[in-house]
Structure 1
């Protein structure tokens, strides 16, 4: 026995392993081996020590192995592999130097060694460190990069390298998938990351958001595993994230906002078909629904890295904003993605719209900068997500919208009477550098109210905002005074149609009267003044502003009715206009300005009642 011990110590001193053996010289196969690739070669080193103590609170037993490759931030301290036992950890391999934990091949070698010396029916590989999602460094000072940052080497494991590492582990495992890939790191639970290991790992667990430095509560899920070592990878993955969330919900790690989820790679792979069905149609309809798609990108749940956002929440935001056919495709994709998420756990506030899988939604500049890196991912090759991002963020088609519409009456007095003709001035906006060609403007309205002219064709709408005389109409002579809903439709050649409703006010017979009210020109800073306009017995009053210029948002003009109800708030620069009818025989007008940027003010020259 002494000679065997001396030989073992000598092998350890030389950086070789001390094998685990039973009396027959073979190593028994257990139910589970947890392998923790604990990279403390950064500012998380002390938390690695704390997590090993958590593991030692439970340790290994006759059916479960807990094995840790520990690297520290001290260059003169060699990296070592430990078998974690209850109350202590036993060193079983000394590398003899501080190895590069940012080298994916060292992850594979750790798996090979552990499988050979601590075999099991199922393997759980836990990468412990900082995380930056799917991304790798763009520049030297880029703080966001893959996973397992080694500060001494400057290396990290990229998402494609993670995929290659797991492919090689799967080969070492006789072609059988690794049970669980766990990432005790920030922002790693992404479609892009999980999909990279879809053929080599069954379950992926991690957080969409940043994790506290204390990370997982190892003693909690290990206690559950040792109680039931025969549990499946699906069950264990859910338990790890459940206990992680519980530990921060007033549990052993206090109270903090966290999120963690367990994802089935098989079901995630299946969901791509449904997601692509939506994305394909969404790309085709991007010119029509561009504003809806882009607006949802701004409102979706985001995480510690602002470009990482919740995939399911993004799709949910689109529901109700698109046509029924596209909405059905969204519902199909949501159902498939929901089935891929086996468990999703949230504590605290601010993450209520997290549903278990994050996705990259950058701005246009960030997309251009990372495009070539993103193209390296299996997710980019198999899904249409990057094509969808291109269509929305870097469009190569006209981006038309209908802006303000102004109804011009035929005689120009500002009132539209039964039997009178009117023309609609339409503001068209194009946010793209690609011009819209042969845009067909048409108008529809309620039956029996007006005879509408045929559509007009606009040859080209360039980037920017342009106003056009749109369709015209003649009101029926017998139409009653009131407000009627009309619609402008813009059919874009080769793309589709956009539309916008507007109101046409058919007026009663009014008495017009000159009436002068003006601010000083320009108005002074910190001005607050009120005027009254009254006409005894009038049912309502309209006011004509011949000129209106105030500082947008900061200098406002408010219009109140006789009862003191606020009817209008006006600011900015406007063409001459009539207000809507203000009920009653008295109107109050109030201006309030701030201490800077004085403008012209306003001139009122007429009223109608």
Structure 2
């Protein structure tokens, strides 16, 4: 009987082996944990610092679980070491303890390129991901930085006259981040850091919010030595399974410690900050800053800004990130002020003048609560040098007034219209406050604001999904009259029943079957006034806020192939097992062997 049962089991196994499965069971190669990409734009007076930093990376080098790849563009005349080559090259960084000579293999010679072109940045990331795939990716933009003005200044650009330069501005940064998101298979970049001056600014981080998990940047100008790459990469090499938040904390800590440890190379520096930001919380911060800005721009009993004197005092005394800040004057043209320190001082000044003003107390407190620092906050980790305990590391653009009636000397800071071109200024109210403060002209009726909370950018749906839910919030102090939506730049449609005062939620349903397979652009906007009887708009509308969704095409079998449905395979397996059991029972009842 045992031989008979064994034969039955063997029959089951043979039948199962004959069933075709469509799943690919080939072994998947284990990917490295990290690819650490450095976009090293040394085509300017930072060439010698770039050579030094690449040598620092070589002290650690790539491992089985850590790829370190660099695209470096050199300049002419600043540093003559290492062959004094010019143009742009790509390296996979290998371990080498020689601090003066670059020995890592050159994997690509690109000639002269424009590192201020976002397309060149995207191409570097695409090449890195294709040749060095990993579970997690970090991207460092290395060069001069100018907050919302831009980063990666290239002094020798093909096609531009000598003396002119190009850079990655905020529109370029947004475009590059979106394309990199696509390169990563519609997944967010794990970490984007700026080894550059002044990039720890609200408007900079806002450009990355939909495409990057964690951002790292400096509030102050960075010293020429920049990040201490050996100290940063050593713990990552030792523990490559760390996540992006832990890596960001290491970058922040090692950077600050390198300029405060009383050691040479680099020497201590009296003005350094570095901070790490959870960009998935950026929309929450933007919303509370809108309420804050709107209140600051409100009018007082005499027609001017209600809190004009207190704003002036807080700006004058809070931590400034302009290297040549004297009193209220920003002499280098970078009027960037610490958001946290400003709200603390402003709250004190306003409550001193208006002790019962609970609204401003609440708004200032909410700004600090949402921003941090704190593990569950937007700015989840930050450090500063020991001389600036009030520097949190997050800055906000805050120019002086051109008609400074509160100052005898009247030295203005020119308002940069480049700020108006940032996504943060277009979609939110801080620039509205700046214009009000700049001209001492209160905002009687600010623009409404709107955001999309669901779905996340570039979410994918199939035709089998019943509906695609689009939802978010809109805000206006007086009234949100209506919320409109459009798909692929078509006609605007009003969402029925959506209106109210203050913050309101909205929701809209799309049916996937009404959308063709592929990518679709979804835009929403809010209005604060109804249309007129003649159909005209007399109110103000938000700048359209956009997200993108993808509709999957139905699967089509390859030509000449036949795919067996999974339900059919499962049914066959069940029938085989039942049949084998019945056969075994029949044989067993037939008597012993």
The answer for the alignment partner of 1:384 in structure 2 is 429
Alignment counterpart, residue 61 of structure 1, candidates 63, 84, 94: 63
Alpha-carbon deviation of 1:267?
1.7
Per-residue CA deviations over 1:252-299 (Å, capped at 9, x if unaligned) read: 523112211111111232112222222222222463211111221222
Alignment counterpart, residue 311 of structure 2, candidates 293, 297, 300: 293
Q: Give the TM-score taking structure 1 as reference length.
A: 0.57
Alignment counterpart, residue 73 of structure 2, candidates 71, 74, 78: 71
- Asked whether the equivalents of residues 204 and 262 of structure 1 are also in contact (C-alpha less than 8 Å), the reply is yes
Partner SS for 1:370: coil
- Does 2:149 match 1:115? no
CA 283–299 in structure 1, closer or farther in 2 if over 3 Å, else same:
same
- Does 2:205 match 1:194? yes
Alignment counterpart, residue 359 of structure 2, candidates 321, 325, 335: 325
Partner SS for 2:421: coil
Between the aligned partners of 1:397 and 1:262, the Cα distance in structure 2 is 34
- Does 2:219 match 1:208? yes
Between the aligned partners of 2:249 and 2:38, the Cα distance in structure 1 is 18
Alpha-carbon deviation of 1:97?
1.1
Contiguous gaps of at least 5 residues in structure 1 = 1-23, 136-145, 399-609
Alignment counterpart, residue 261 of structure 1, candidates 275, 287, 298: 275
| Mean Cα deviation higher: 153-162 or 281-290 | 281-290
Per-residue CA deviations over 1:470-501 (Å, capped at 9, x if unaligned) read: xxxxxxxxxxxxxxxxxxxxxxxxxxxxxxxx
Per-residue CA deviations over 1:114-153 (Å, capped at 9, x if unaligned) read: 0000011111110111111111xxxxxxxxxx11111112
Larger Rg: 1
For residues 72-471 of structure 1, the aligned pairs below 5 Å read 72-74=74-76, 77-87=86-96, 89-135=103-149, 146-153=150-157, 154-250=165-261, 251=263, 253-257=266-270, 258-285=272-299, 287-304=305-322, 306=330, 307-322=335-350, 323-338=357-372, 339-349=377-387, 351-365=388-402, 369-371=415-417, 373-396=418-441
Alpha-carbon deviation of 1:27?
7.8
- Asked whether the equivalents of residues 91 and 108 of structure 2 are also in contact (C-alpha less than 8 Å), the reply is no
Partner SS for 1:266: helix
Between the aligned partners of 1:341 and 1:265, the Cα distance in structure 2 is 9
Per-residue CA deviations over 1:218-269 (Å, capped at 9, x if unaligned) read: 0111111112111111111111110011111124523112211111111232
CA 51–296 in structure 1, closer or farther in 2 if over 3 Å, else same:
same
Between the aligned partners of 1:193 and 1:66, the Cα distance in structure 2 is 25
Contiguous gaps of at least 5 residues in structure 2 = 1-25, 78-84, 97-101, 158-164, 324-329, 351-356, 403-411, 444-593
- What root-mean-square deviation, in Å, do the aligned CA atoms of Structure 1 and Structure 2 show? 2.2
Per-residue CA deviations over 1:69-124 (Å, capped at 9, x if unaligned) read: 01110396231110011116433432341211111111000000000000111111
Higher helix share: 2
Q: Give the TM-score taking structure 2 as reference length.
A: 0.59
- Asked whether the equivalents of residues 186 and 209 of structure 1 are also in contact (C-alpha less than 8 Å), the reply is yes
Per-residue CA deviations over 1:320-373 (Å, capped at 9, x if unaligned) read: 333122111110111001121111111242x322112111011234776423x2
Alpha-carbon deviation of 1:312?
1.2
Between the aligned partners of 2:104 and 2:110, the Cα distance in structure 1 is 16
The answer for the alignment partner of 2:578 in structure 1 is none
Between the aligned partners of 1:227 and 1:96, the Cα distance in structure 2 is 32
- Asked whether the equivalents of residues 281 and 378 of structure 2 are also in contact (C-alpha less than 8 Å), the reply is yes
